[in-house]
């Protein structure tokens, strides 16, 4: 590989890394991005301006106690194309076809079957005797494999956050809200010893989906 090709490959990797960090963390300044990537803030800004020219990122300014306001960078809706979309067009077409052929009852039956299969797959991969923390980590790993970019955070009060930074079925979930309702149901059935509450929702305009998970009293 020639020098120019190597530089282009390195540039693409860095920009993809920046996009992934913004997807997972939300609005972030150049200094923090630089710390994650191990490169200078100046280099990060050059990449950000290039991504901005492609309409993949934008920023808003945040006042700081000292100095000039900081630019907090975030992804634009156009950046969604860089992440798995779950074959959105095909899924929407199939949902419409099921509804047309079998009505709402048929669609509910389809969701029942999907829920059962998904629950069985998760239950076979997550030991029932595992701790709540272990179950959440295993669930996050499975969801990440499915394209949800999931992670678990432990809060000071002992509760957990299951965070999904991307929704690969967003278009389908927007058209069929039952998909989201069933996912919440699945999480509750996997985490039998916990209470699961959705606190942020991509479909409602949030950047991510977040589930607060607490042990039952």
Q: Could you tell me the CATH number of the domain that includes residue 130?
A: 3.30.1380
Instruction: Extract the tokens encoding 30.
Output: 């150049």
Check whether 188 has a pLDDT greater than 90: yes
Mean pLDDT of 127-144: 95
pLDDT in tens, 76-103: 988 887 887 665 676 778 888 988 899 9
Looking at the structure, tell me whether residues 96 and 130 fall in a common domain: yes
The per-residue pLDDT for 178 is: 86
pLDDT in tens, 145-162: 898 999 999 999 999 999
Q: pTM of the predicted model, to two decimals?
A: 0.71
Provide the terminal-to-terminal Cα distance of the chain, rounded to the nearest Å: 60
Looking at the structure, tell me whether residues 191 and 95 fall in a common domain: yes
Alpha-helical (H) ranges within 87-165 are: 88-125, 132-145
140: closest CA among 181, 104, 187, 101?
Answer: 187
Q: What are phi and psi of 69, to 5 degrees?
A: -60, 150
Tell which wins on pLDDT, 1 or 176: 176
Q: What is the mean pLDDT of the chain?
A: 90
Q: pLDDT-derived band of residue 64, with 50, 70 and 90 as boundaries?
A: confident
Looking at the structure, tell me whether residues 144 and 182 fall in a common domain: yes
> 25, 60, 82 — which closes off a domain?
82
For residues 118 and 13, give the distance between their C-alpha atoms in angstroms, rounded to a whole number: 33
Looking at the structure, tell me whether residues 75 and 110 fall in a common domain: no
161: closest CA among 193, 137, 189?
Answer: 137
φ/ψ region of 154 (left if φ > 0, alpha if ψ in -120 to 50, else beta) reads beta
Looking at the structure, tell me whether residues 78 and 93 fall in a common domain: no
Number of domains in the chain: 2
- Domain containing 45 equals 3-82
Tell which wins on pLDDT, 94 or 33: 33
Looking at the structure, tell me whether residues 48 and 72 fall in a common domain: yes
Least confident stretch, 74-88, 132-146, 183-197: 74-88
């Amino acid at each position: 590989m020639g020098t120019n090709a190597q530089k282009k490959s390195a540039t693409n990797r860095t920009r993809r890394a920046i996009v992934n960090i913004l997807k997972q963390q939300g609005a972030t300044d150049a200094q923090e991005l630089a710390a994650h990537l191990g490169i200078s803030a100046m280099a990060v800004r050059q990449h950000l301006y290039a991504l901005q020219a492609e309409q993949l990122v934008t920023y808003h300014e945040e006042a700081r106690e000292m100095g000039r306001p900081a630019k907090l960078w975030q992804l634009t809706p156009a950046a969604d194309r860089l992440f798995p979309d779950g074959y959105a067009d095909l899924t929407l077409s199939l949902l419409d076809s099921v509804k047309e052929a079998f009505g709402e009852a048929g669609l509910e039956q389809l969701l029942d079957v999907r829920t059962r299969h998904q629950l069985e797959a998760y239950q076979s991969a997550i030991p029932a005797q595992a701790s709540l923390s272990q179950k959440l980590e295993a669930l996050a790993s499975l969801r990440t494999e499915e394209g949800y970019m999931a992670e678990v955070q432990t809060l000071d009060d002992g509760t957990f956050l299951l965070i999904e930074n991307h929704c690969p079925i967003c278009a389908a979930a927007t058209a069929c809200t039952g998909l989201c309702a069933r996912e919440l149901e699945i999480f509750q059935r996997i985490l039998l010893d916990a209470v699961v509450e959705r606190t942020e929702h991509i479909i409602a305009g949030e950047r991510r989906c977040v589930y607060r998970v607490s042990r039952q009293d």
